[in-house]
Amino acid sequence: MDRVVDLDEVAAVLAGQTVGWRSAGLEVDQVTWRDAEAPWPQPLETDRARVHDPDSVGVVVSGPGVAELSVVLFRGGWADVDFIAGLDDAGTLPASDIASATDFEARMNQWVARVFGVCGGAE
C-alpha cells in the first residue's frame, strides 16, 4: 500500500483536537494503530511503540445519546468513516483521496460537525 499520509502526523492532529472535543462534551477513545507486519488478524494497538509498520490509525468519538463517530484512516489516503447521529441518522461518510494530515484534520472537523454539531477540535 502506498504511503500517502503520515499516520504519526495524523495522530498528532487527533491529539491536538481531543482537548477541544472534550471541552465540548465529547468523549474521545484512545487512538488505535494497526501494524501491516502483524499476522492476520492484525490486532489493534493503543501503544504506538508496539507498531513497526503502521497501515492505519483510528479513533472513536462519542457524544450525547447514541451519537458516535468512528474513523479509521489508512496510509493509502482513504478512511472508513461510520457514524450514528441519531436513531434515524446513521451511515458512512465519503472519505477518499486524503492527501495529508492537514487534509485529514479539515475533513475530521467536517465529520465531527456533521455528527455532533461541534466545529473544530483545536483550541
How do the residues of the chain divide into helix, strand and coil, expressed in percent and rounded to 5? 30, 30, 40
User: Domain ranges in the chain?
Assistant: 7-116
pLDDT per residue as tens digits for the range 5-31: 999 999 999 999 999 999 999 999 999
Please indicate, yes or no, whether the overall pTM of this predicted structure exceeds 0.75. Answer: yes
Q: CA torsion angle for 35, 90, 106, 59 (degrees, to 10)?
A: -30
